[in-house]
Amino acid sequence: MKLMFVSDIHGKLDYLDILLNIYYKEKPDNIIFLGDLFSFYVKDEVEELINKIRNKVVIKGNCDSETDVLTSNLNFTNDYYFEAFNKKFYCSHGNIYNINRFPPCDFDCLVYGHTHQGLIHKEYDKYFLNPGSFSYPRGGSVNSYMIIDDTGIILKDLDQKTIEKISW
């Protein structure tokens, strides 16, 4: 199984085109969007591009307005909990639950966006993971996304080059 995580696109359509190309090359079984997909003026265009992707989970970000979410056909959720690779995953945008504030459930891997900076960190036998921002990196980081598979976790740049990697 192969999972792809993307966050903080903020309506940048040119980056969504890049995302589609990477998605077709990576061929993940599922893709999890960790929020902040929209901007004020391109909701329909963002939806059209994201609807080309199958097997997706779309989490609401703090910049995805209630109106956009309610009128969207993307089936937003506030969080996503699942098991894979013998691990319990909790995914959210990151403005509420993150490395500094844990969710009220048992997890092995906390995956979140919001900070616009990629992160692979293991502490207390837990993994704290952030794919960074696909279109608006901050703090000297680069545009990035994350792949998780049977071998471990890989943070990649948009040229699909490894930024950081950790094995299970």
Sign of torsion over alpha carbons 48, 53, 55, 58 = negative
Locate 32 and state its tokens. 């999890």
Q: Residue 92, SS3?
A: strand
The CATH T-level fold of domain 2-167 is: Purple Acid Phosphatase; chain A, domain 2 (3.60.21)
Verdict on whether the full-model pTM lies above 0.85? yes
Walk along the chain (168 residues) and give the pLDDT tens digit of each residue: 999 999 999 989 999 999 999 999 999 999 999 999 987 667 788 888 899 998 999 999 999 988 888 888 899 999 999 999 999 999 999 999 999 999 999 999 999 999 999 999 999 899 999 999 999 999 999 999 999 999 999 999 999 999 999 999
Long-range contacts from 96-102, C-beta under 8 angstroms, 24+ separation: 98/128, 99/128
Residue whose token pair is 């969080």: 79
Sketch the domain layout of the chain as residue ranges: 2-167
